[in-house]
Structure 1
Amino acid sequence: MTKIDFHILPSADDSATYHYVARLANKARGKAHQVLIAVNSSEELEPVSQALWSVSPDSFLAHTNCATAPFPLQLTASEECGDHHDVLINLCHETPTFFSRFKRVIEVVSQDPIRLQASRSRYRDYSDNGYPIERFDLRR
């Protein structure tokens, strides 16, 4: 069964969210995980991509769009989820239809009111369907 993690950020700032996602992806790739980052729209792809290219002053995370080619770190703004099913980092307001194919889903929760409400709904859905959930509250 898919393991679900909720990472609750202290900020509503999209830039801070994208940089946190880049750090998560960097950590997962460092452990040889394949990662798919799902975003709401094609407009959101660019700032996430920029965060990945500047994950730290001396490194970057090479990545590609899911529709382009198989790659260990991919981004998607559609129902395309690539060929691997290891780690999904979800920034979408809705639960991706393909989430249960992944071993692990990381839900990144910002304090933006729209994103916060959407993540509460996803949390209820996962919980109601019996998925194991772990919370990481970074507001403290």
Structure 2
Amino acid sequence: MTRVDFHTHVADRLAYACRLARKVYLSGQRLVVVAEPDLLREFDQALWTFAPLEFVPHCMNGDAVAAQSPVLLAGPDDEAQHHQVLLNLGVSVPTHFARFERVLEVVGETPEQLAGARERYRFYRDRGYTLNNYDQRA
């Protein structure tokens, strides 16, 4: 069954998500990052610039090299080509989350983000998924 990890109260969601993507990539696992289109474009740019001496290979889901890419950027309803780790930056539970071994939810500090995370947490909990919470407050 899918394991779901919530990383909450994250001050800079994109930077934190970039570090998580790097960690997953360096572990040899494949990652799908899910978000709405505007946020995906921001995340794509952040992956190019967050660490000057490091590169996390990635592409948009559906690109010609998607089958070989260790990190795919996809919309919440997109079907991905691999199903190891899903990083959700979106506002809802991704459609195909249950196909993944692990889901990472990155939640900021705003009331809207926290309220949305509580709804997603209840969704996963009510369906019996294993949940872990990593509170990033200092």
Of 118, 121, 125, the match for 1:120: 118
Q: Structure 2: how far apart are the matches of 1:9 and 1:50? A: 23
TM-score computed with the length of structure 1 as normaliser: 0.91
For residues 1-140 of structure 1, the aligned pairs below 5 Å read 1-11=1-11, 16-39=12-35, 41-68=36-63, 69-70=66-67, 71-140=69-138
- Which amino acid letter does the alignment assign opposite residue 43 of structure 1? D
Q: Normalising by structure 2, what TM-score?
A: 0.92
Q: CA deviation at 1:79?
A: 1.5
For residue 10 of structure 1, report the CA deviation from its aligned partner.
Answer: 4.0
Alpha-carbon distance between aligned partners in 2 of 1:86 and 1:9, rounded to the nearest angstrom:
25
Q: Where does structure 2 lack aligned partners over 5 or more consecutive residues?
A: none
Q: CA deviation at 1:55?
A: 2.9
User: Per-residue CA shift, 1:3-54, capped at 9, x if unaligned?
Assistant: 000001342xxxx211110000000111001000000x21112210111112
* Contact 2:10-2:109 within 8 A present in 1 as well: yes
Specify the SS of the correspondent of 2:91.
coil
1:67–1:80 contact (8 Å) kept in structure 2: no
Partners in 2 of 1:94 and 1:46 — Cα distance? Answer: 18
Amino acid at match of 1:66: N
* Residue 81 of structure 1, CA deviation: 3.1
Count residues in correspondence: 135
Structure 1: stretches of 5+ with no match in the other structure: none
Give the share of equivalent positions with the same residue, in percent: 36
- Aligned to 2:125, what secondary structure does the other structure show? helix
Question: Aligned AA for 1:6?
Answer: F
Cα distance in 2 between the residues matched to 1:136 and 1:48:
21
**Cα root mean square deviation, aligned:** 1.2
